[in-house]
Amino acid sequence: MTIRDFINNIAHTGVHYKRDLLKALYNSIKEHEIVHASKFEKPAKRSNSKRSCVSRQLLLEVDPESQVEYKCGYIMRKCVYDADGAKTPFGRRGWREWYARLRGLALYLGRDDSDKKRSRYEMFNNAILLHHAFAEPAPDYKKKQYIFRLRTADLGEFLFQTT
């Protein structure tokens, strides 16, 4: 693909970028080729439970008390899909009130705002990793107002209600 083809392909996406930026991006890709992830890993299948364990291990490496706290407050959460991508059972799918703390790249959920009552297990068990997560408004959910959807990297999906 030539630089002209690259710029024309990007121009038809509907987003307008500066021509100099696209040239720099093209040259950077030519110098350092993007390698597909399948070339690094063996094609062996992995279980979803192992993926969840790896994400929990990443969470345990960082002390939540040392992280900067960006926001905190009460929110309502509904779990639609579990971390392995399976639908959440009906017993755990309802709306529940949580006290949320956004620290670093994790959202820690607890029953109340006191840290002294919360154990480390409860803090990590109710944590949602936000690394490579995608949040968007949920206009298709009409039952409540002020709802947004959070899709996590480990295939979990949550609905949150804020005021």
Rounded to 5 degrees, φ, ψ at 8 are -65, -40
Domain that holds residue 28: 3-39
Q: Are 143 and 69 in a shared domain?
A: yes
Residues 6+ apart with CB under 8 A from 98: 74, 75, 76, 77, 109, 110, 111, 126
Q: Per the domain annotation, does 45 fall within a domain? A: no
pLDDT of res. 140: 92
Inter-residue contact 154 to 55 (CB < 8 Å): yes
Is the residue at 53 inside a domain? no
Residues of the chain with pLDDT under 50: 42-47, 50
24 and 76 in a single domain? The answer is: no
How high is the mean pLDDT of the chain? 81
CATH of the domain at 107: 2.30.29.30
Q: Output the pTM of the full model.
A: 0.61
How many domains, in total, are found in the chain? 2
CA 80 to CA 151: how far, in whole Å? 10
Indicate if 12 and 81 belong to the same structural domain.
no
pLDDT at 65: 72
Q: What is the pLDDT of residue 29?
A: 87
Is the same domain home to 122 and 79?
yes
Residue pLDDT, tens place only, 50-93? 455 555 555 556 666 777 889 999 999 999 999 888 999 988 89
Same domain? For 131 and 72 the reply is: yes
Q: Within a domain: residue 149?
A: yes
